[in-house]
A and B are shown apart, each in its own frame.
Chain A
Amino acid sequence: MSERTAEVVAYAVAGVILIVGGVLLRTAVLNWFVGPMLVVVTVTLLTPLLSRGRSS
């Protein structure tokens, strides 16, 4: 998987976590700090994992 594709997938995963986690956990996920931080952490950590996992 190219890094570009991996990044798009990471954003999609972050979106699913935010929406599903938000519905179930409400403000624990959907607050001004955790929500954006979750996007940054997911994209930063998941992108290299996905691109490395597929290429190896």
Chain B
Amino acid sequence: MSWAAHELESVLLHKHLKVAWRISYMAILIGALLPDFTKLPVYGLNIAGHELLKADNAVEYHRGWPGMGPTHSLMFGVLIAVIVYLLTRSGPWAVGLMLGQWTHALTDTADTAGCMLFFPFTTQHYSLGMWEYSPQMGRYGDTASYYSGLGGVWDFLWLVMLLLLARRSLGDRYFKENVETTDPLWPWLRRRFHAPDRMLRAIFRAYVFYGACRIFGWFLWARFVNPNRGEQYLDWSWGGPGWVTPAPAFAGASTWPGLVGVTVLGAVGVAASTWLAWVAVRRWDRGVDAAICGPAAPGRIMPPECLATGFPVSARVVHPVVREGSPAVGSSEAPVAQLDRATAF
């Protein structure tokens, strides 16, 4: 598994997709964290010396099938996107969650356990084997392993890439122009909690900042405070550290032709299912529009509920931005100019 990489990759992804699709940053972030929401039984809960909710086989539970392994598959992202779109009709959120989840699954293929990327079409695990998957060593054994091997280097590389390629994406201007104005979440936070600008910016940066700091915090702990640091030494060899007791390996294709076969089957299955889901959602979208709104006519003003809230672009909708100290949109004091900042998807 990757640690800080999941927090850092969301900003990089948003930076490179924002222009094309106006995707919600928060959706990408939540999508990137989503597959590990079921991770609690991997380590279990330790209450007064009693271990609760702990899975018998951490790797099987987290990455396998039967288990929670499908949360690290590409189809899980598609499923989440379809459910969210059907509930909210927000394309930027549905696509953002899907892409965030995909980055998580792809990033996690770097360890030795790998992920069933093409589940349910195949249970083949795909792995680069850069560092040893080690939750079977317990919470702090896993931490020490990750930050004593190439896992820590991987996190650090993401941080370097973020600073080199997307550091401006953490600036105030980027937040105002590409995050706040493209997602109704931010105006809602401002209205509901009277959140000042600095708080909204802090929420936007919180996971990236936390991700960057946890690299240093955990590395320093593993190397200088960890009581087992003597035997849990630094080992940057491929597939290391060598002191980790390996998790049981997953069965999979044993020959190259077999691997190519299941990969083609899985990739075609995922691509076809994603396309079918896309077509079905578009049809449903048009059906809802027609059922609620009736036929469009020139000059007819459509009620707000008739407007799809985003990608795919079947209609245009505005999300007014209320600045600090300005009266709420809709009140008699609200200047018309406020709507100039509104965003059309």
Contact = CB atoms under 8 A, between A and B. Distances in A.
Bind each other:
yes
Interface of A: 3, 7, 11, 14-15, 18-24, 26-27, 29-30, 32, 35-40, 43-44, 47
B160 interface: no
B218 interface: yes
Interface stretch (B88-96, B120-128, B203-211): B203-211
A39 B210 contact: yes
Given A22-B218, A24-B225, A43-B198, 18 more contacts: A11-B205, A14-B213, A15-B212, A15-B213, A19-B213, A19-B216, A19-B217, A23-B225, A35-B210, A35-B213, A36-B209, A36-B210, A38-B210, A40-B203, A43-B199, A43-B202, A44-B198, A44-B202
B33 interface: yes
23 contacts: A11-B205, A11-B209, A14-B209, A14-B213, A15-B212, A15-B213, A18-B214, A19-B213, A19-B217, A19-B220, A20-B217, A22-B214, A23-B217, A23-B224, A30-B210, A30-B214, A30-B217, A36-B207, A38-B210, A39-B206, A43-B198, A43-B201, A44-B199
Query: Interface centre among B199, B202, B220, by most A CB within 10 Å?
Result: B202
Given A23-B221, A23-B225, A26-B221, A44 B196 contact: yes
A21 B220 CA distance: 11
Contacts of B196: 44
A11 B202 CA distance: 9
Interface of A is mostly: helix
Nearest to A47: B198
Contacts of B212: 15
A40 B199 contact: yes
Contacts of A22: 213-214, 217-218, 220-221
B71 to A, nearest CB: 15
Interface residues on B, range: 20 to 34
A23 B220 contact: yes
A19 B212 CA distance: 10
Nearest to B222: A23
Contact of A15 (B140, B202, B209): B209
B218 A30 contact: yes
A23 B217 CA distance: 5
Contacts of B316: none
Query: Interface centre among A3, A40, A43, by most B CB within 10 Å?
Result: A40
B229 interface: no
A27 B39 CA distance: 14
B139 interface: yes
Contact of A40 (B140, B143, B202, B214): B202
Contact of A39 (B140, B202, B218, B224): B202
B155 to A, nearest CB: 13
B198 A18 contact: no
B313 to A, nearest CB: 33
A19 B140 CA distance: 16
Contacts of A32: 33
Given A7-B198, A40-B203, A44-B196, A18 B210 contact: yes
Contacts of A11: 205, 209
B145 to A, nearest CB: 15
Contacts of B225: 23-24
